[in-house]
Structure 1
Amino acid sequence: MRLIVVNDVSVAVGGATKVALQCIEAGVKAGLECSVLVGDDGAGIRSRFPSVEVEALGERPLRDGVRFANVFDRNFNGRAYRALRRLLKSGGDMVVHVHGWSQILSPSIFHALARSDAKVIVTAHDFFLSCPDGAYVHYGRGEICPEKPLSAGCLSSSCDKRNYLNKLWRVARSVTQCAAGEAFWGRVGVILAHEGMEPYLTDGPLQNFLTLRTPSTPLTQFPVAAWKNERALFLGRMSVEKGVWALAEALNLTGRAATLIGQGPLLQKIQQALPHCYVPGWLDDCEVKAFAAKARYLLMPSRMPEPYGLVAAEAMMSGIPVLASSNALISREIEKNQAGLMFRSGNVDSLAEKMALMENDELVRHLSEGAIAYGKRVAPSIDEWRQRMVDIYAGRIKFATRNLVAEAMVRPERQTFELAGPERR
């Protein structure tokens, strides 16, 4: 069997790439012939997997700055299309596993795959398989978007974080994506990081779903005595959909200090808004572990329907309780298993109230113990996950066709919240 892994970038600065690298590792350990298509220079994969064939475009992701040419080549990247077609020509028993494509590779890869008989699997790290914005968030109104993707309501909705013209470009990209054909999308297997994602992805032609939670490793080497610590910790992208501006307002409202680690478009504004907090940008793993060991609780203020939240699982495995937004799909199980508290998404007063509760040492100790207990079963171990992934590639684990659980699941109700400060820009 030959495995082709497809992803925008080769260096793990986010969860999607981290999982893509783990898939390559699983394939290599299982003795599969592995190839990789990446949009950047491929250095991150070549250094880690010297035996793996790498087809690299040498291009930059949209988040590093938009050029005029990107208006066209991020809608349909001809170089990505041709590169994938070359990889597919070898024939034989072949599985293609797609991770990220929205930053460089574009929907062109799906058109290449539609012309192939290869088995196609896509891991849904976000909602770009259905939603043009990839997040189901209406940034202007401050709520989860209720519109069916590409419906009349969707087309008329100015929901984009930048402007309506950018929304129209995203719609055009989604149309290009859909144009790979219903027959193609009907045979694609979609791996979900959380079962709660499925209701968001069943409006279109996708038919085949399977949930496999991402393997997690503790944030720290040893369990944390969280109740003895003082500072809260945020670890993630500094962007609107991650809810960092509402977090900043809550920290200013309460006067509490926290450590916020991550990069993104709001980094400088958050640094200016929180002079009493430590906001260093991104740090290496050793530094992150050191700050996690001093964390009282983890903040997860997502405004979007957060597909899973790997960092929440990693924190719980370390005994760090989680304050999770109600929009995070994992939030209700965190609360149910007494591994943290849930607050109303984007609501500064609700978040501040929960932060005040976390001043209680006995409560934090109780939630820390709950986090340790739930962390042991929140996701498979890396060895279990590797074996399941290889079994999926080999067809020993089957995808369910619009499984019956999804019929009983509904999307969260609309949740409104204040938009203020830099989030309006």
Structure 2
Amino acid sequence: MRLILVNDVSIIRGGATKVALQCIDASRQAGLNCAILVGDDGEGLKPRFAGIRTVALGERPLRDGPSFTDVFEKNYNKRAYDALDALLKETDEETVVHVHGWSQILSPSIFYALAKHKAKVIITAHDFFLSCPNGGLINFQTGTICDVRPLSAECLATNCDKRNYLHKLWRFRRTLTQRGVGEEFWSRVGIVLAHESMEAYLRSGPLQHFLTLRTPTEPLTPVPVEAWRNRRTVFLGRMCWEKGVRTLADALNKTGRTATLIGRGPLLDEMQRALPHCWVPGWLADEEVTALAGEARVFIMPSRMPEPYGLVAAEALMSGIPVIVSSNALIAAEVERNGAGLVFRSGDAGSLAERLASTDDDKLMRGLCEGALALGQRIAPSKAEWGRRMVDIYTGRSGFFAQ
């Protein structure tokens, strides 16, 4: 059996690419013949995947600054179509294609290539681009979760984009291109969800086959943290509006509390200016993050969008560190129900400030630490178990694929 792994980028700057590369690790260990298609230059694959058939287009993701030609190429990238079509023609052996990210470089053209072939197709839904034009199921103008039916007339008329309405129209057109592959294709695609609550948001279109396999997670620290003894408040993630960093900054400024904010993104400079009393170093090496996690009292996940899973929150819980999460996060109810952290109203800096003040209570925090560690032990599969289950999906042992 052959696996073709498809992803926009090869360099790990978020959970989606990290999971994509773990798929290659698991497949190679299981003896599958692997190939990789990425939209960037493929540098992130070296030397980890030396010897694996790799096609890299050498293009830049939209987040690095769109160009005029991207208006056309990122709606339908002919080079990506040709590259995937050629990979599928290289052999007659049974093939599974696993798609992770396509919205930044590869575009919906890859689905047209897949529709021509008999390969089984899996897509891991790391976001909501399978149904929602802006990928977040959120109105970036109002800050509220969007309940408008994707691709409806109301959706077309709604300015929900993070940039402007013209960009929304472009995204709408791209989603039409994606949907235009046809229901026959989409009805045979298997969708792997990072959290079971995602399914309700993705069922409005032609997708039919869903399976939840939570992201493999390792604790942030080698041993559980006695977080109630610590004082450091930590945010770890992309510095962008949808991740809620402005809400966090407002809450910190309201209270004068300090925090450590780790990560890259378009709002990094703004956060450094807005929070002179906090430490906002940008990106840090894994060993530095591990050391800081060992000093953490609480981790904050203030996402404005319906965060599909929240890998950092899960990693913190597995280390026994309580979390404060937005009500929009899909794991919010789970965190609250298990006494593993606190939940605040999404986008409400006052509500977040109240939850931050609650962390001064050592007795409360000790109880939350116990709840965090207990939930962390069952919140996600180990890397080894996840790898076995993913290979079972590829080989058909899971019974997932529609025949």
Q: Given the two structures, how large is their TM-score scaled by the length of structure 1?
A: 0.93
Q: Which residue of 2 aligns with 1:396?
A: 397
Where 1:308 maps in the other structure, the secondary structure is coil
Question: Is residue 2:175 matched to residue 1:179?
Answer: no
CA distance in 1, matches of 2:400, 2:311: 23
Deviation for aligned residue 1:92:
2.0
Partner of 2:248: 247
Deviations 1:219-256 (A, max 9, x none): 11221111111121000011111111011000000111
Q: Which residue is equivalent to 1:274? A: 275
Deviations 1:31-66 (A, max 9, x none): 000000001111221310112110000111111111
2: CA distance, partners of 1:256 / 1:91? 61
Shift of 1:321: 0.2
Q: Partner residue of 1:371?
A: 372
Give per-residue Cα distances to partners, 1:4-55, cap 9 Å, x unaligned: 0000111111100000000000100000000000011112213101121100
Question: For residues 17-56 of structure 1, what are the structure 2 equivalents within 5 Å?
Answer: 17-56=17-56
Contact 2:192 2:211 in 1 (8 A): yes
1 CA distance for matches of 2:256 and 2:223? 30
In 1, Cα distance between equivalents of 2:351 and 2:211? 34
Give 1:400 deviation, angstroms: 8.5
Q: Give the corresponding residue for 1:237.
A: 238
Is 1:78 matched up with 2:81?
no
Q: Deviations over 1:374-418 (max 9, x none)?
A: 1111001111100000000011113388xxxxxxxxxxxxxxxxx
Query: How many Å separate the matches in 2 of 1:68 and 1:53?
Result: 31
| SS at structure 1 position matched to 2:97 | strand
**Mapped contact 2:98–2:123 kept (Cα < 8 A):** yes
> Does the CA contact (< 8 Å) of 1:46 and 1:52 recur in 2?
no
Q: Specify the alignment match of 1:126 in structure 2.
A: 127
State the distance in 2 between where 1:296 and 1:362 align: 13
Deviations 1:179-223 (A, max 9, x none): 111100000000000000001100000000000001100111221
| Alpha-carbon distance in 1 for matches of 2:310, 2:92 | 37
Secondary structure at 2:46 match in 1: helix
Question: Please, what is the CA RMSD of the aligned residues?
Answer: 1.0
- Contact 1:5–1:20 under 8 Å retained in 2: yes
**Counterpart Cα distance in 2 of 1:55 and 1:143:** 39
Letter in 1 for 2:28: V
Question: 1:156 corresponds to which residue?
Answer: 157
Percent identity between the aligned chains?
65
Whether the aligned pair in 2 keeps the contact of 1:231 and 1:258 (CA below 8 Å) is: yes
2:123 is aligned with 1:109: no
* CA distance in structure 1 between the partners assigned to 2:154 and 2:143 by the alignment: 17
Partner of 2:141 in structure 1?
140
The one-letter code matched in structure 2 to 1:226 is A
**Which residue does 1:406 correspond to in 2?**
none
Paired AA for residue 104 in structure 1: I
Give deviations 1:56-111, integer Å, cap 9, x for gaps. Answer: 00111111111111111111111110000010002320000000011111111011
Structure 2 length-normalised TM: 0.98
Q: Which runs of 5+ in 1 are unaligned?
A: 402-425
* Alpha carbons 1:325, 1:343 under 8 Å: kept: yes
CA shift at 1:139, angstroms? 1.3
* 1:238–1:266 CA contact under 8 A, matched in 2: yes
Q: Which amino acid aligns with 1:391?
A: D
Q: Distance in 2 between matches of 1:118 and 1:96?
A: 7
1:304 maps to which residue? 305
Q: Any idea what SS the aligned residue of 2:391 has? A: helix
CA separation in 1, counterparts of 2:92 and 2:184? 20
- 1:4 equivalent in structure 2: 4
For the Cα contact (< 8 Å) 1:209–1:400, is it kept in 2?
no
Superposition pairs for residues 142-221 of structure 1, below 5 Å? Answer: 142-221=143-222
The residue that corresponds to 2:87 in the other structure is 87
Paired residue for 1:411?
Answer: none
Unmatched segments (≥5 aa) in structure 2: none
Contact 1:46 1:54 survives alignment (8 Å): no
Encode CA deviations 1:250-307: one digit per residue, 9 max, x unaligned: 0000111000011111111111110011111111111111111111100000110000
The secondary structure found in structure 2 opposite 1:280 is: strand
1:368 to partner: Cα distance = 0.8
CA contact (8 A) 1:95 1:119 kept: yes
CA distance in 1, matches of 2:399, 2:242: 33
Task: Tell me the amino acid that sits aligned with residue 60 of structure 1.
Answer: R
CA distance in 2, matches of 1:36, 1:17: 12
2:42 partner letter:
G
Aligned length: 401
The 8 Å contact of residues 115 and 181 in structure 2, kept in 1 or not, is answered as yes
Q: Deviations over 1:103-150 (max 9, x none)?
A: 111111011001110000000000000000000111112200110000
Q: Hey, what's the Cα distance between the residues in 1 that align with 2:272 and 2:367?
A: 32
Query: What is the rounded CA distance, in whole Å, between the counterparts of 1:51 and 1:374 in structure 2?
Result: 39
With over 3 angstroms needed to count, the CA separation of the structure-2 counterparts of 1:79 and 1:257, relative to structure 1, is same
Q: Secondary structure of the equivalent of 1:47?
A: coil
Aligned to 1:61: 61
Matched, 1:16 2:16: yes
**Matched letter for residue 8 of structure 1:** D
Q: Where does residue 261 of structure 1 map in the other structure?
A: 262
Q: Any idea what SS the aligned residue of 1:76 has? A: coil
8 Å contact 2:220–2:318 — kept in the other structure? yes
CA distance in 1, matches of 2:249, 2:43: 36
Contact 2:188 2:401 in 1 (8 A): no
**Whole-Å Cα distance in 1 between the matches of residues 137 and 122 of structure 2?**
22
